[in-house]
Structure 1
Amino acid sequence: MARLFGTDGVRGIANVELTCEMAYRLGQAAAMYLGKTIVVGRDTRYSGDMLGAALSAGIMSAGGTVLEAGIIPTPGVALLVREMRAAGGAVISASHNPPEYNGIKLFDSAGFKLPDAVEDEIERFITTGGLEGQVARMEEAAWGASQEATDLLAADATSYLASEIAMPSGGSLGVTVPLEQAREIYIDHVVRSIGEQGLDFSGLRIALDTGHGAAALTSPEALRRLGAEVIVINDDFNGMDINVQCGSTHLEPLRMLLAESGADVGIAHDGDADRVMIMCPDGTVVDGDMVEAVCALDMRERGVLAGNTVVSTVMANFGFVRAMREAGIEVVQTKVGDRYVLEAMREGGYAIGGEQSGHMILLDHNSTGDGLMTACQFLAAVIRSGKPVGEAVRVMEKMPQTLINVRVRDKHAV
């Protein structure tokens, strides 16, 4: 059987592959394996309400408290887990995928994605019936033990076993607590990260495509607070337009907006805003490799590039690798997937890692990919360079590269 968890949680077509029962079991697992206080957020997908209700019901049925963050970027949930000192977090999103898809990803108490071993434990929990399945098996074991009990000690042990496996009820059930300031906490965190560097974005005109996703409620406000003039598109949502011909995977609307508005830079997010793509005024795409190169060189100049090392994947353009090495910066390359980038960063104590697709992790600022934070740190680096965006990104020369998708029977076995 294929593994339930992919590189970014559990995903599938909502109500077909990713069902309410699955979401309910994942909620129970979150409360059982992470702890009793779970921050829950989601993107703008139509199925988010349905799956969110099921997930939260699962958490509460296991005696957990749901800290409800509402519609918020994925990195906002990771931040809130730490800010609220929660046991973990859950995000209902399928990131850059079409609207009919949805997903659930879990964070630990430090805002990091779960390691494979914990996901495997959760998968076993889910496939064996969740908490109800555990209770049924323990009750059966207790009944069997009671039939074999021949003395008081065995009977006492059986009584204790039965008391430990009862489903929560009454006052032991969980509740939901709305986090009214959830998005404000995230926005303030990003804005302060630039203010602490003595910078703002005054005089900067930004073209922004929020992809009908969660960034619509955070990125325009954050950039405006930093002093930028923001011209934004696709900042409304109806649940079925997220990522549709817009955002970080469909850049033509942003290119048109740049041409019409005369903006200094373009920014595009995916549905849950854990990634970002940048665009120069002439429509040239600044992908994740180029963004990471600019940020890494700036961090080295400021003396904050931990280990004088960057982390990327095997899909990184060789131009990125060459530019870093010529600058005296070590490059660690991992398997494809931001979880593997993060693992290498944590193992080596490194501060920056990313993917060509626009995922970038800045561990000095957040514990997961953060599209808005990445865009802001990139713009801060550009401002310090004293150059326009189109010149600032010339720190690396992209080499010819061909990426080919190969269909296989079982991608998890490859």
Structure 2
Amino acid sequence: MAKLFGTDGVRGIVGDLMTPEFSLRMGHAIGAYFGKGSRLLIGRDVRLGGDMILRSLTSGLLAEGVKVYDSGLLPTPALQFGIKSLGFDGGVMITASHNPPEYNGIKVISNDGIEIPHENEDIIENYYFNNYSSKMEWRSFDNEVKIKEDIIDLYIDGVLSQVDVEKIAKKNFRVVIDCANSVGSLTAPLLLRKLGVKAYTLNCNLDPYFPGRNPEPNADTLQYTMSYITLVKADAGFAHDGDADRAMVLDNNGRIQWGDRTGALLTEFSTKIWKNYNKKTYTSISSSNLVEEYLKPKGIEVGWTPVGSVTIAREISKRKDAISGFEDNGGYMHVPHHIVRDGAMTIALTLYMLSEYNESLANLYDKLPQYYPIKTKITANKEQASCGVEAVKEKYSSYRILTIDGVKVFGDDFWLLVRPSGTEPLLRIFGEAKSPKKVEEIVNDTVKLIKEKCIR
């Protein structure tokens, strides 16, 4: 059977995969999964085709006897918080997150506000590919879609409840916020105003064409944002992705700080404030070794997971033994608030940390271990990719290794990750070392080894 779901929902190009017909069938499948009489909260980001997909999918849900509540335009974590806080049976978010503008997608969310477990995606796919449709008696259909307009206010209040608003306001912080022309525009400026922060907004008008930049916040797309921080002498900068479940942090020197670096700092800070939580965090295997190097001496345990925010969230939810979870792409989960990636919570927590430490953001990041990264990839089919992973395992058999998602090698002054792509015929190679020369040697030797042994 074909696969619809990726690492976080279903995504495709509008007018190609994402059509009214597809969305209607998905509505039937999702409705059958939750069951007749279920109460679902739905919403979307600003992307083109969003209303088309939402309305078609809603028709399928209603046809399965589901009670639908529409929260309109809002960030993914706002919808998730609303589901958990208001006791909904689940929900659906129409978004393609950080993908380019021509994409849209569908995220299915459980009653705990977290995306459904990956194993449950097969149930929905089975309904979809079998073209499932209930045959209900006419009296069983719900009469209308209910409108829920208070979710954003509920969400912002929830974020604010986690921090010392008065302490942050007294610092008179100057902050640059890049909203990516999407639904972060509806929450980030409001949050910063309520925190008493002087906000300089970039790309905070809603525009489905994303004219300011690509929705993915990275070093290439944030060049102007980085320079603007130093221009206005801001204390910090934050850049959302398309559905605002991530916030990439930029320090007062205009440097982009990857999510694993931010995650290490915020986790350490959180253990000092929320002392009734275990001193443990979970992060994906693609995060840097600096996480362990920095946190373990402080008595904070690091649990490694396969790549994917849903995997991290479900692991925390199952084990109930951590204060945070994070990814290197800027996704941070503040467990005392909600076990999901949350851009607004990341912003508030970072400013809370700044207000407590009385140091510049750049100084805080400079305390972290310094590694030099290289990322590359090799075209490889499934068999070649598997061969490449085994070749690396054999070469580094005397080192500490993890094999939960490809193979990760831990050295004293380097780390190496080789893992097959989950969506493309590629073998991805990530390396970091404490010198540029060392990481270049390790990655080049790894590419050579895999090509000689596996790519013929």
**What TM-score, normalized by structure 2, do the two folds share?**
0.79
**Residue type of the alignment partner of 1:9:** G
**Residue type of the alignment partner of 2:73:** I
2:122 match: 120
How far apart are 1:344 and its partner, in Å?
2.4
2:168 match: 200
Separation in 1, partners of 2:211, 2:130: 34
User: In the alignment, is the contact (CA less than 8 A) between 2:46 and 2:207 conserved in 1?
Assistant: yes
**Residue type of the alignment partner of 1:379:** L
Q: Which has the higher contact order (CA 8 A, sep 6+)?
A: 1
Residue-by-residue CA offset, 1:316-363 (whole Å, 9 max, x unaligned): 112222111222211111111111211322233212010110011112
2:401 match: none
Moved more, 26-35 or 228-237: 26-35
CA RMSD of aligned residues (A): 2.0
Q: Which structure: greater strand fraction?
A: 2
Three-state SS of the structure 1 residue aligned to 2:313 is helix
Separation in 2, partners of 1:30, 1:167: 16
Three-state SS of the structure 2 residue aligned to 1:336 is coil
How far apart are 1:201 and its partner, in Å?
3.3
User: In the alignment, is the contact (CA less than 8 A) between 1:62 and 1:168 conserved in 2?
Assistant: no
- The aligned runs of 1:333-352 (5 Å cut-off) are 333-349=304-320, 350-352=322-324
Separation in 2, partners of 1:406, 1:83: 45
Moved more, 20-29 or 309-318: 20-29
Residue-by-residue CA offset, 1:139-179 (whole Å, 9 max, x unaligned): xxxxxxxxxxxxxxxxxxxxxxxxxxx33524523521111
Pick closer, same or farther for the CA change 1:11–1:218 going to 2, 3 Å.
Answer: same
Larger Rg: 1
Unaligned runs of 5+ in 1: 136-165
2:340 pairs with 1:372: no
- The aligned runs of 1:69-80 (5 Å cut-off) are 69-80=71-82
Separation in 2, partners of 1:78, 1:391: 34
Q: Which structure: greater helix fraction?
A: 1
1:101 match: 103
2:368 pairs with 1:399: no
**Residue type of the alignment partner of 1:206:** V
1:288 match: 259
Separation in 2, partners of 1:340, 1:93: 19
How far apart are 1:224 and its partner, in Å?
0.7
Three-state SS of the structure 1 residue aligned to 2:372 is coil
**Residue type of the alignment partner of 2:3:** R
Pick closer, same or farther for the CA change 1:201–1:293 going to 2, 3 Å.
Answer: farther
Residue-by-residue CA offset, 1:116-161 (whole Å, 9 max, x unaligned): 2211011000000021xxx5xxxxxxxxxxxxxxxxxxxxxxxxxx
1:167 match: 136
Separation in 2, partners of 1:37, 1:408: 44
Match of 2:244 among 273, 296, 307: 273
Moved more, 89-98 or 28-37: 28-37
Separation in 2, partners of 1:94, 1:285: 23
1:153 match: none
Task: List 4+ stretches of structure 1 deviating above 6 A.
Answer: none
1:129 match: 131
Pick closer, same or farther for the CA change 1:263–1:123 going to 2, 3 Å.
Answer: same
Pick closer, same or farther for the CA change 1:318–1:224 going to 2, 3 Å.
Answer: same
Three-state SS of the structure 1 residue aligned to 2:375 is coil
Three-state SS of the structure 1 residue aligned to 2:356 is helix
Pick closer, same or farther for the CA change 1:270–1:386 going to 2, 3 Å.
Answer: same
2:334 pairs with 1:332: no
How far apart are 1:289 and its partner, in Å?
1.2
Separation in 2, partners of 1:43, 1:347: 29
**Residue type of the alignment partner of 1:366:** H
Unaligned runs of 5+ in 2: 383-420, 428-456
Pick closer, same or farther for the CA change 1:29–1:305 going to 2, 3 Å.
Answer: farther
User: In the alignment, is the contact (CA less than 8 A) between 2:114 and 2:310 conserved in 1?
Assistant: no
1:148 match: none
Separation in 2, partners of 1:340, 1:68: 27
Three-state SS of the structure 2 residue aligned to 1:403 is strand
Separation in 1, partners of 2:108, 2:277: 27
How far apart are 1:408 and its partner, in Å?
4.3
1:158 match: none
1:64 match: 66
Pick closer, same or farther for the CA change 1:190–1:228 going to 2, 3 Å.
Answer: same
Three-state SS of the structure 2 residue aligned to 1:340 is helix
1:307 match: 278
Aligned residues with identical type, % of pairs: 27
1:240 match: 209
Separation in 1, partners of 2:356, 2:313: 27
Three-state SS of the structure 2 residue aligned to 1:301 is helix
How far apart are 1:305 and its partner, in Å?
6.9
Three-state SS of the structure 2 residue aligned to 1:376 is helix
Match of 1:255 among 226, 231, 239: 226
User: In the alignment, is the contact (CA less than 8 A) between 1:320 and 1:398 conserved in 2?
Assistant: no
**Residue type of the alignment partner of 1:69:** S
**Residue type of the alignment partner of 2:368:** M
Pick closer, same or farther for the CA change 1:326–1:48 going to 2, 3 Å.
Answer: same
Separation in 1, partners of 2:114, 2:85: 14
**Residue type of the alignment partner of 2:15:** N
How far apart are 1:258 and its partner, in Å?
0.9
Separation in 2, partners of 1:334, 1:309: 13
